[in-house]
Amino acid sequence: MMTLRKFTKRLFILLNIGVGLIFLLACCNAFLHPDKWWLIALLAFVFPLLLILLIAFIIFWLLACPRYILISLVCMLIGWQNIHAFFGFSLAGHDFSKKDSASIRIMTWNVRRWDEFSTKKTGAAGHRLPMMELVARQKADILCFQEFYEPDDSAKSNIRYISNQLGFHYFYFSGDYHNHTGKYQTGVVIFSKYPIQATSQTRFNTESFLQKESLISADIDVQGHTIRVFTTHLQSVLFKPKDFRSVEIIRNADDSMLEASRSLAKKLKSALGLRGYQADTVRKQLDATQLPYLICGDFNDVPNSYTYFHIRGELQDAFISKCFGIGRSYIHISPTLRIDYILPSKQFLIVQSMKLESPYSDHHALLTDLQLPGRKR
């Protein structure tokens, strides 16, 4: 009986150490480039599970042998930066029904081409106008949209509608992808109620995915203060319906799980490497910026990734600063996917922040109120 007890105890110690080491490997994604270390980069997606297991071991050892909780505690202490990037601990409240005149309200949203193609496939009524009404209700000063859809028909122009009906008279649109029939363009866009003084566009090399992406910026004059706003849409994995079926196969441990896993891993490997290089490009542009600035958008990567840590650098994370929880922003695959961000430089004071849930896109929008020191009401 004693021998079995010792064996069980040693087994749990080894399991705890093993989970702790894998957890620390996942934390290494903060500085390991995913193009060279893609297997470790994949661990970012199971970081929440690893964290839960470490906490479970703490509870187990508290009941069985308290001194062994140090295994998990030491690992969690070493990986605290990653834990805090994953989970927001702020209990600050928010009230976006009111807006301080000294604040700049930023809204970022991957609008999934205003749901134009999703509703066409199902034969349902379009969601474009409800989405526009949702945007109008937020009383934002600056809008950053990804997967923005602009039809060639000027009567249906989304840019014209947002400019004329919503009052955002200044904009800069990347126009990354042109439909081969010339019927529409897609890309990222910045709208502003304040004058735009200058703009820039950096195109990413995405030939392997046949999908063009950009980083754009706009220098905006906010009542005599010039700020630079960046937005981008980094490379997605481009999952197709069969890939989502592969996820279900893996979840259900079906017989074809190995083949499904290989298919997903191949796509993830390519996208992870490409996003790593895009993050390098973004970081160079941010480092060259002398103005107070912020970057927001759809990074298509989780907070425990090289992409997130490399782009964030010394920037603030609006969600982590003012919100509590995981902050899931992408509605498919996993409940832990926060892949959309608003990251202001330290010249800004973050007043409040929130995730705005909606049924229209596969992403939730983010809202943040910022203030610049010296800006008066």
Backbone angles phi, psi at 128, to 5 degrees: -55, -50
| pLDDT-wise least confident of 144-148, 191-195, 210-214 | 210-214
Using alpha carbons, list the distances in angstroms from residue 270 to 38, 208, 232, 235.
Answer: 9, 8, 19, 10
- Evaluate if residue 376 carries a pLDDT over 70: no
Question: pLDDT at residue 167 above 70?
Answer: yes
Q: Which residue has the tokens 């474009």?
A: 128
**Three-state SS at 365:** strand
What is the Cα–Cα distance from 235 to 209, expressed in whole angstroms?
8
For residue 15, give Cα distances in angstroms to 18, 27, 48, 54, 72: 5, 18, 17, 10, 11
pLDDT at 207: 61
CA 267/CA 251 separation, integer angstroms: 18
Q: What is the DSSP secondary structure assignment for residue 335, as one 8-state letter?
A: T
For residue range 296-334, what is the model confidence (pLDDT) as tens digits?
999 999 999 999 999 999 999 999 999 999 999 999 888
The number of beta carbons lying within 10 Å of the beta carbon of residue 313 is 11
3-state helix, strand, coil split of the chain in percent (to 5) is: 45, 25, 30
Distance CA 337, CA 327 (A): 8
Give one DSSP letter per residue of 9-25, joined into a string: HHHHHHHHHHHHHHHHH
Query: How far is Cα 211 from Cα 230, in angstroms, rounded to an integer?
Result: 20
DSSP secondary structure code for residue 363 in this structure: B
Average pLDDT rounded to a whole number, residues 189-207: 92
* C-alpha to C-alpha distance for 126 and 228, rounded to whole angstroms: 34
How many angstroms from the chain centroid is the CA of residue 78?
24
The token pair that represents 274 in the structure block: 């490409």
Q: Sorting pLDDT into bands at 50, 70 and 90, what band is 246?
A: very low
Confidence of residue 6 (pLDDT cuts 50, 70, 90): confident
Query: 213-227, 231-245, 293-307, 341-355 — which is least confidently predicted?
Result: 231-245
Candidate from 90-94, 118-122, 197-201 with smallest mean pLDDT: 118-122
pTM (two decimals): 0.89
Q: Are strands 225-233 and 324-325 parallel, antiparallel or unpaired?
A: unpaired
Closest residue by Cα to residue 132 from 348, 365, 318, 331:
365
Q: Is 150:186 a contact under the CB 8 Å cutoff?
A: yes
For residue 340, pLDDT over 60 is answered with yes
Predicted local confidence at residue 29, as pLDDT = 94
> In this structure, are residues 301 and 45 in contact, taking their beta carbons and an 8 Å threshold?
no
- C-alpha dihedral sign at 262, 211, 109, 35: positive
31 to each of 4, 244, 340, how far by Cα in Å?
A: 42, 30, 20
Computed on alpha carbons and rounded to an integer, the radius of gyration of the chain in Å comes to 22
State the average pLDDT over residues 25-45.
94
Distances (CA, A) of 142 to 103, 201, 228, 351: 11, 18, 11, 16
The confidence score (pLDDT) of residue 257 equals 46
The SS3 assignment for 112 reads: helix
pLDDT at 244: 43
For residue 106 the two structure tokens come to: 């930023």
Separation CA 141–CA 223 (nearest Å):
12
Cα separation of 37 and 24, whole Å?
14
* CA distance linking residue 43 with residue 32, whole number of Å: 12
Of the candidate ranges 45-54, 189-198, 352-361, the one whose mean pLDDT is the lowest: 352-361
Q: Which amino acid is at 197?
A: Q
